[in-house]
């Protein structure tokens, strides 16, 4: 049998018997598409899920502050983290951002036109936003330049803006805070710091100039690069602090439970997806094997007839094997297209560029897999069919 | 046997025996059959059901190996062929027609007739003409691209005949080719056999119950209790 004939006939037969093959084909198409989406976008999805989970739980955010003294009110607590300490912390491997914060006990008086209210104020640096994954609901958040320039700007929490203006779109307006004029640059989103939505945020430099009784930096937030970094960062903190100032008064907070929970969820999702994929591909393989096995039985007379008109054992063998391969490979090709669609959609949902090299890698993996699938599933039936004796096949009803 | 007779002999069976072991008991279906078929001869084999007609035909087509005996085809001993050579022999030397006129599923008339050419590795460019030729001989060129499963019994049998002769065999072996056809269709099929035999010099061995069919052949062999009469 010429290879061209073999290939042509196998394609025609698989196509004409699509009713019989459609179930298996669909399984393989979906399995391949799933494989490609997960292999290509898995890392991005995982990062995206982790970011989302962190946004809610802040699982990799470590807080360092001073232990409470029994007499914090009087006199004012003057303990502070030195700039060297903060710079030292930034050098710990696995740390993304170090944000600082200074607080003022009590409220500030905020006035807009005739509207006067009291709000909690915190003085923060620009990295504070990054540590908390914060973004502006409207306008912008003040930045490094504002800190350097000691700009008279502020950011409002959502409820603060609502109560003063009855509106969230208030960037550009001027308010007075404890009789100093500040310009509003933006309003904070509500997810990242829901406990601080009735606050007013000032640049720490400006606040220390203009607002009385603002403490020095007394709280540090650290954002670790990933969950895996949290443990060794925690271990390093007291050591680093100790080389610049005494560390016996500090306290370190970490949302341990949340971190554990988030890790478990992510692991669960990962395992589930991979098991589902494996099951799908396995089902596809068993499906082909079953179809080919059944067709050896139902095509016994056809095999006998072919041998009677001169087909050799290897003609029958390759016919069955090729049909199995044509089925699995064509389904895999369709799976590639579906998979590419899935990758594009997923990428647009999590706002990411689909990594091309990963896509092609997954195509290669998917293709090898379907080749193996087609051969393994088709081999036993092909051998069985090719060994059949003509008489038995012709006498078979 | 004269020299001319010997040169004209296509099939020569001597002392052909076939026995089966059923439940440990040996029982013979064909005890020591002798039989010759000349080139372009039409031979009918008749006999009651179970008398071993199909068995004999399967042995002739090398589908079944005999327990004992000699089988010369065109003067050559072909019982010593290996599996691959047997397939080649079937491709090149014989055509086979079954009672049920089995068609290949999901295939057209044309594709059915193409299969033997495919297994014979014939050149694709030569196929259409050859297929057209044999279909013309059974008067089916107008159904060439129809699905073979939608044909009537008589038409299917004609396709089977075209398929059997497409590789220019020396002999066509037919196992009750008219067994499932009515009298008119049987008649027609026999006429096709006859015309093919005379135009192409192909020998025919036709197993049948039907005396009307046997009547159309040159030689009628009766098989009874395994004996040829
Ligand atoms: N594989 C086999 N094992 C045992 N007996 C068989 C086998 N094949 C055929 N026979 C027996 O051989 C006899 C002849 O069968 P067959 O050649 O089909 O007869 P016919 O075609 O004349 O009706 C029958 O009795 C049948 O039962
Ligand atoms: Mg029979």
CATH class of B39-65+88-228: alpha beta
Residue where the block lists tokens 């007379």: A301
Q: Which residue has the higher pLDDT, A74 or B17?
A: B17
Q: What is the pLDDT of residues A243-298, one digit of tens each?
A: 888 877 888 888 777 778 877 887 888 788 778 777 877 777 787 778 777 877 88
Ligand 1 atom closest to residue B223's alpha carbon, by position in its atom list: 22
Say whether residue A307 is in contact with chain B using an 8 A CB cutoff: yes
- pLDDT tier, A105 (very low <50, low <70, confident <90, very high otherwise): low
User: In whole angstroms, what is the distance from residue A263 CA to residue A269 CA?
Assistant: 10
Maximum distance among all alpha carbons in chain A?
107
* pLDDT at residue B69, rounded to an integer: 92
Torsion of CA A348, A352, A357, A360, to 10 degrees: -20
Contact B102 A4 (CB under 8 A): no
Q: What is the pLDDT of residues A287-342, one digit of tens each?
A: 777 877 787 788 888 888 999 999 999 999 999 899 888 988 898 899 999 999 99
Give the end-to-end CA distance of chain A in Å, rounded to a whole number: 27
Residue % of chain B over a pLDDT of 70? 95
Query: Going by CA atoms, what residue is nearest to atom 20 of ligand 1?
Result: B50
Q: Find the CB nearest A309 among B88, B96, B106.
A: B96
CB-CB contact of B221 with B44 (8 Å): yes
What is the distance, to the nearest Å, from the Cα of residue A20 to the centroid of all Cα atoms in its chain?
39
- pLDDT tier, A397 (very low <50, low <70, confident <90, very high otherwise): low
- pLDDT tier, A388 (very low <50, low <70, confident <90, very high otherwise): confident
Of B37, B34, B29, B43, the C-alpha closest to B13 is B34
Name all residues whose Cβ lies below 6 A of ligand 1.
B 20, 22, 29, 47, 49-55
Q: What is the pLDDT of residues A7-54, one digit of tens each?
A: 999 999 999 988 888 888 888 888 888 888 887 887 777 777 766 766
Entry pTM: 0.72
* pLDDT at residue B208, rounded to an integer: 92
- Nearest-CA residue of chain A relative to B118? A1
- Nearest-CA residue of chain A relative to B89? A310
Maximum distance among all alpha carbons in chain B?
54
**If you measure from the C-alpha of residue B37 to the centroid of ligand 2, how many angstroms do you get, rounded to a whole number?**
20
Q: Which residue has the higher pLDDT, B119 or A35?
A: B119
Indicate if the pLDDT at residue B76 is higher than 70.
yes
Q: Find the CB nearest B63 among A4, A315, A394.
A: A394
**If you measure from the C-alpha of residue B50 to the centroid of ligand 1, how many angstroms do you get, rounded to a whole number?**
6
- pLDDT tier, A57 (very low <50, low <70, confident <90, very high otherwise): low
Contact A391 B88 (CB under 8 A): no
- pLDDT tier, B114 (very low <50, low <70, confident <90, very high otherwise): very high
**E-state strands within chain B:** 9-22, 25-38, 42-46, 68-73, 76-77, 94-97, 171-175, 203-207, 219-224, 227-228
Question: Which ligand minimizes its atom distance to the CA of B98?
Answer: 2
Q: Which two tokens stand for residue B39?
A: 């080139």
ipTM: 0.91
User: In whole angstroms, what is the distance from residue A28 CA to residue A328 CA?
Assistant: 7
Q: What is the pLDDT of residues A156-209, one digit of tens each?
A: 999 999 999 988 889 999 999 998 999 999 999 877 677 788 899 999 999 988
CB-CB contact of B161 with B97 (8 Å): yes
Say whether residue A219 is in contact with chain B using an 8 A CB cutoff: no
Q: Find the CB nearest A310 among B105, B116, B124.
A: B116
Say whether residue B219 is in contact with chain A using an 8 A CB cutoff: no
Question: Which ligand minimizes its atom distance to the CA of B26?
Answer: 1
Residues with CB under 5 A from ligand 2 (ion): B 54
User: In whole angstroms, what is the distance from residue A240 CA to residue A50 CA?
Assistant: 28
Contact A308 B104 (CB under 8 A): no
Give per-residue burial for B88-98: e unless 16+ CB within 10 Å, then b. bbbbebbbbbb
Q: Which residue in A13, A17, A308 has the most chain B C-beta atoms within 10 A of its own C-beta, making it the best mutation to test that interface?
A: A308
Which of B18, B31, B45, B52 best tests ligand 1's pocket when mutated (most atoms within 8 Å of CB)?
A: B52
**If you measure from the C-alpha of residue B19 to the centroid of ligand 1, how many angstroms do you get, rounded to a whole number?**
10
Q: How many CB atoms lie within 10 A of CB A29?
A: 23
Rounded to a whole number of angstroms, the distance from the CA of B187 to the nearest CA of chain A is 25
* pLDDT at residue A276, rounded to an integer: 76
Indicate if the pLDDT at residue A386 is higher than 80.
yes
Query: Going by CA atoms, what residue is nearest to atom 24 of ligand 1?
Result: B50
Rounded to a whole number of angstroms, the distance from the CA of B1 to the nearest CA of chain A is 32
Say whether residue A311 is in contact with chain B using an 8 A CB cutoff: yes
What's chain A's average pLDDT? 85
Query: Going by CA atoms, what residue is nearest to atom 27 of ligand 1?
Result: B50
Residues 69-98 of B with CB under 8 A from A: 83-84, 87-88, 90-92, 95-96, 98
Instruction: Give me the half-sphere count of Cα atoms (radius 13 Å) on the Cβ side of residue A105.
Output: 9
Which of B18, B28, B44, B55 best tests ligand 1's pocket when mutated (most atoms within 8 Å of CB)?
A: B55
User: In whole angstroms, what is the distance from residue A174 CA to residue A154 CA?
Assistant: 9
Contact B96 A17 (CB under 8 A): no
Phi-psi region of B75 (alpha: psi -120 to 50; beta: other; left: phi over 0): left
Residue A29, phi then psi, degrees to nearest 5: -60, -50
Q: Which residue in B87, B148, B164 has the most chain A C-beta atoms within 10 A of its own C-beta, making it the best mutation to test that interface?
A: B87
Sign (positive or negative) of CA dihedral B173, B178, B183, B188: negative
Which of B16, B17, B20 best tests ligand 1's pocket when mutated (most atoms within 8 Å of CB)?
A: B20
Average pLDDT over residues A329-357: 87
Paired with A154 in beta bridges are: A184
Query: What residues in B contact A311, CB-CB < 8 Å?
Result: 87, 119
Q: What is the pLDDT of residues B20-74, one digit of tens each?
A: 888 888 888 888 889 999 998 999 999 888 888 999 999 999 998 899 999 999 9
**If you measure from the C-alpha of residue B30 to the centroid of ligand 1, how many angstroms do you get, rounded to a whole number?**
10
Say whether residue A305 is in contact with chain B using an 8 A CB cutoff: yes
* pLDDT at residue B179, rounded to an integer: 87
Query: To 5 degrees, how large is the angle CA A395–CA B64–CA B1?
Result: 130
* pLDDT at residue B117, rounded to an integer: 96
**If you measure from the C-alpha of residue B55 to the centroid of ligand 2, how many angstroms do you get, rounded to a whole number?**
7
Q: Which two tokens stand for residue A139?
A: 């306008």
């Amino acid at each position: 049998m010429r290879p061209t004939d073999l290939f042509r006939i196998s394609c025609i037969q698989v196509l004409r018997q699509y009713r019989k093959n459609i179930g298996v084909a669909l399984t393989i198409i979906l399995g391949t598409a799933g494989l490609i989406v997960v292999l290509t976008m898995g890392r991005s999805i995982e990062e995206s899920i982790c970011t989302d989970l962190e946004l809610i739980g802040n699982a990799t955010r470590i807080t360092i502050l001073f232990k409470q003294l029994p007499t914090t009110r009087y006199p004012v607590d003057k303990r502070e983290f030195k700039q060297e300490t903060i710079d030292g912390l930034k050098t710990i491997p696995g740390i993304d951002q170090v944000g600082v914060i200074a607080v003022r006990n009590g409220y500030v008086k905020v006035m807009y036109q005739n509207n006067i209210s009291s709000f909690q104020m915190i003085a923060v640096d620009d990295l504070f936003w990054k540590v908390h994954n914060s973004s502006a609901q409207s306008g912008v958040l003040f930045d490094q330049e504002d800190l350097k320039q000691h700009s008279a700007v502020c950011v409002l929490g959502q409820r603060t803006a609502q109560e003063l203006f009855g509106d969230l779109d208030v960037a550009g307006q001027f308010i007075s805070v404890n009789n100093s004029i500040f310009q509003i640059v933006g309003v904070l989103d509500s997810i990242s710091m829901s406990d601080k939505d009735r606050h007013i945020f000032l640049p720490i430099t400006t606040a220390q100039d203009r607002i009385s009784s603002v403490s020095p930096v007394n709280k540090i937030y650290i954002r670790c690069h990933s969950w895996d970094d949290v443990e060794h960062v925690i271990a390093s903190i007291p050591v680093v602090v100790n080389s610049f100032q005494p560390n016996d008064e500090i306290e370190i907070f970490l949302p341990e439970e949340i971190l554990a929970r988030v890790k478990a969820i992510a692991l669960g999702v990962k395992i589930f997806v991979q098991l589902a994929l494996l099951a799908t591909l396995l089902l596809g393989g068993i499906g082909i094997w079953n179809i080919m096995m059944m067709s050896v039985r139902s095509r016994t007379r056809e095999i006998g007839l072919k041998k009677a008109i001169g087909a050799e054992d290897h003609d029958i063998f390759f016919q069955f094997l090729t049909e199995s391969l044509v089925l699995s490979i064509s389904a895999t090709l369709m799976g590639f297209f579906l998979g590419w669609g899935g990758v594009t959609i997923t990428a647009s949902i999590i706002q990411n560029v689909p990594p091309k090299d990963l896509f092609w890698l997954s195509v290669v993996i998917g293709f090898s897999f379907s080749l193996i699938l087609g051969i393994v599933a088709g081999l036993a039936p092909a051998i069985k069919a090719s060994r059949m004796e003509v008489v038995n096949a012709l006498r078979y009803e | 046997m004269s020299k001319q007779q010997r040169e004209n002999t296509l099939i020569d069976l001597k002392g052909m025996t076939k026995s089966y072991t059923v439940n440990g008991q040996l029982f013979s279906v064909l005890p020591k059959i002798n039989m010759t078929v000349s080139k372009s001869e039409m031979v009918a084999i008749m006999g009651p059901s179970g008398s071993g007609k199909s068995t004999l035909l399967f042995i002739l087509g090398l589908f079944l190996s005999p327990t004992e005996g000699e089988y010369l085809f065109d003067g050559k001993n072909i019982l010593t062929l290996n599996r691959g050579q047997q397939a080649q022999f079937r491709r090149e030397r014989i055509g086979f027609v079954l009672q049920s006129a089995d068609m290949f599923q999901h295939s057209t008339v044309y594709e059915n007739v193409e299969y033997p050419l495919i297994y014979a590795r014939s050149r694709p460019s030569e196929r259409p003409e050859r297929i057209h030729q044999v279909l013309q001989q059974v008067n089916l060129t107008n159904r060439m691209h129809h699905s073979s499963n939608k044909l009537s019994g008589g038409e299917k049998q004609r396709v089977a005949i075209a398929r059997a002769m497409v590789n220019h065999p020396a002999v066509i072996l037919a196992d009750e080719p008219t067994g499932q056809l009515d009298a008119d269709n049987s008649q027609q099929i026999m006429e096709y056999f006859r015309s093919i035999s005379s135009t192409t010099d192909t020998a025919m061995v036709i197993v049948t119950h039907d005396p009307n069919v046997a009547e159309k052949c040159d030689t009628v062999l009766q098989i009874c209790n395994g004996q040829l009469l």
